[in-house]
Structure 1
Amino acid sequence: MGNKTNGILALLGIGALAYWKYKKSTPEEQQAVKDKFNSAKNNLNKWGNDLKDKANDVASQAQSKFDEAKAKVEDTASNI
């Protein structure tokens, strides 16, 4: 439990330091930080959407293969 608590406290301290530094920076520097965050958010959203599309493609392929195998089994069962 001690390591978890220390880790959380460290993250809070880093966050507080970053917030303090952000508030003391010039408006141009603040805008640069905002732009970096927005760029990172957009990249993360794009990556997530790409991952979601690939997962849907794989699921669709798996479903079609399952349907083919099911049809094959039904054909074989009807011929017996």
Structure 2
Amino acid sequence: MGSKKNGLLALLGLGALAWWKYKNSSEEEKQAVKDKVNTAKDNFNQWGSDLKSKATDVASQVQDKVNQTKSSVEDKINQG
């Protein structure tokens, strides 16, 4: 339990330090931080879109395979 408490306190301290540093930064430095955050957000959104697209492709391939197997089984039943 103490380890979690220390970790949370360390994280809170880092957050407070980052906030203080940001508040005392020049406008150019603030804009650079905003640009980095926006770039990271765009990259994360693109990654999410790519992941969703790949999942949709895999689901489509699985559905196609299920349909092929179903047709194959139905053909064998009808022949036999």
Name the residue aligned to 2:16.
16
The amino acid across from 2:33 in the alignment is: V
What's the TM-score once normalised by structure 2's chain length? 0.95
Alignment correspondent of 1:3:
3
Point out where structure 1 has 5 or more consecutive residues left out of the alignment.
none
Structure 1 segments, 4+ long, off by >6 Å, are: none
What is the CA distance between 1:52 and its match in structure 2?
0.8
3-12 or 40-49, which moves further after superposition?
Answer: 3-12
The count of corresponding residues between Structure 1 and Structure 2 is 80
State the AA in 1 paired with 2:67. D
2:16 maps to amino acid: A
Identity, % of aligned pairs?
62
Offset at residue 8 of structure 1 (A): 1.1
The question of 1:45 aligning with 2:45 is answered yes
The residue number in structure 1 matching 2:69 is 69
Q: Any gaps of 5 or more consecutive residues in structure 2?
A: none
